[in-house]
């Protein structure tokens, strides 16, 4: 079983039809060992909140159901306290947020791929050794 880090952009596509949602559904059905930094659910929740409150794409009840479903995903959680130093260094060098770089730091520390839909993060790391740890969901 392959191990992957998944970010919030991937998890959201399981519940909300977006570009590459079919790739995400296939990815999750392929039974990988999935891991995340412990802030993933907070980021996921914020995306759902935005779709309810700011964009009006979901009702409050729909948002609550999605949050409840996400809490049952078979994910292994890793503490940000163990990743923050590396994530900060990556963020400084790549000019990306520490939040995003926590996922990269986890993938690098575990020697596995980060499955993401974040093209800006992918582009920022393409000329670094960390590019080897990123896979865009569109390529799955």
Over residues 24-71, the pLDDT tens digits come to 999 999 999 999 999 999 999 999 999 999 999 999 999 999 999 999
Residues near 46 by Cβ (< 8 Å), separated by ≥ 6? none
Q: Looking at the domain assignment, is residue 57 inside a domain?
A: no
Q: What CATH number has the domain bearing residue 87?
A: 3.40.50.1010
* pLDDT tens profile 76-103: 999 999 999 999 999 999 999 999 999 9
Domain presence at residue 44? no
DSSP label at 30?
Answer: T
The answer to whether position 53 is within a domain reads no
pLDDT over threshold 90, residue 1 = no
Confirm whether 85 is domain-assigned: yes
Q: Is residue 49 part of a domain?
A: no
Structural domains of the chain, count: 1
- CA nearest 47: which of 74, 39, 115? 39
CA 8 vs. chain centroid, Å, equals 4
What does pTM read for this prediction?
0.95
């Amino acid at each position: 079983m392959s191990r992957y880090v998944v970010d919030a952009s991937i998890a959201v596509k399981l519940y909300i039809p977006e570009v590459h949602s079919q790739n995400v559904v296939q990815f999750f059905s392929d039974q990988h060992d999935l891991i995340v930094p412990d802030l993933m659910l907070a980021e996921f929740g914020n995306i759902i909140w935005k779709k309810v409150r700011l964009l009006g794409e979901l009702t409050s009840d729909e948002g609550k159901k999605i949050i409840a479903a996400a809490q049952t995903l078979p994910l292994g959680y890793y503490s940000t306290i163990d990743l923050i130093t590396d994530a900060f260094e990556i963020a400084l060098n790549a000019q990306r947020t520490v939040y995003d770089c926590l996922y990269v730091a986890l993938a690098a520390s575990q020697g596995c791929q980060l499955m993401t839909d974040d093209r800006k993060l992918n582009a920022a790391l393409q000329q670094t050794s960390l590019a080897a740890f990123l896979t865009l969901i569109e390529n799955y």
